[in-house]
Amino acid sequence: MKQIDSFFTDRLRARKMTPGDLDDLASLNQNPEVMVTLGGQKSREQTLESLAALIKHFDEHGFSYWIIEDKETGVLMGRAGLRRVHIDGADEVELGYAFLPEYWGKGYATEIGKELVRIAFEEVGLSNIVCFALPENKASQRVMEKIGFLFEKECEYKELPHVFYRLTKERWQEPQDS
């Protein structure tokens, strides 16, 4: 199994999470603006558990969530990645992202999302990936659509209603209108 420890986009660096990222992730997970659409703020202990699970996921699958930093400065911007998840009765691979508010509206989620799609299909070998969000998270839905995901259905995740999108490798490979 190939592991993807780090990768770059034009403006971003993504690197594998380590136990040393706890403080940065706790800061992200305790930001009320970030977490309002991600199930609510998480305590430091919850973040520690989540970090351990994401590191284990990486060790088992070769991918997970990565820390996202400014390519030039190394400053933490957020986290994004791919992870296996059970949703609506099925096992899927989700593309997920969360950025600190000062980085919203600048195209970073779309930029990292496009590279994650490429990784999912070209390097991991997946045939499809999903994204989902709370119905009121219109910004995230716009990102999903810009990346090429199509709305598939409404569903529940962690006892909350979500909108569920999917992107297949075949659709991704179709020529896009300029």
What span, in angstroms and rounded, lies between the C-alpha atoms of 17 and 53? 11
pLDDT at residue 176, rounded to an integer = 66
pLDDT at residue 1, rounded to an integer = 72
Residue 132 makes CB contacts below 8 A (sequence gap 6+) with 87, 94, 155, 157, 162, 163, 164, 165
**33 token code pair:** 């603006």
Blockwise average pLDDT, block size 10, the chain, 178 residues: 92 98 97 93 97 97 97 97 96 97 97 98 97 96 97 95 97 77
H helical segments located in the chain: 22-29, 32-35, 44-61, 108-118, 138-147, 169-173
pTM tops 0.85: yes
pLDDT at residue 174, rounded to an integer = 84
pLDDT at residue 162, rounded to an integer = 97
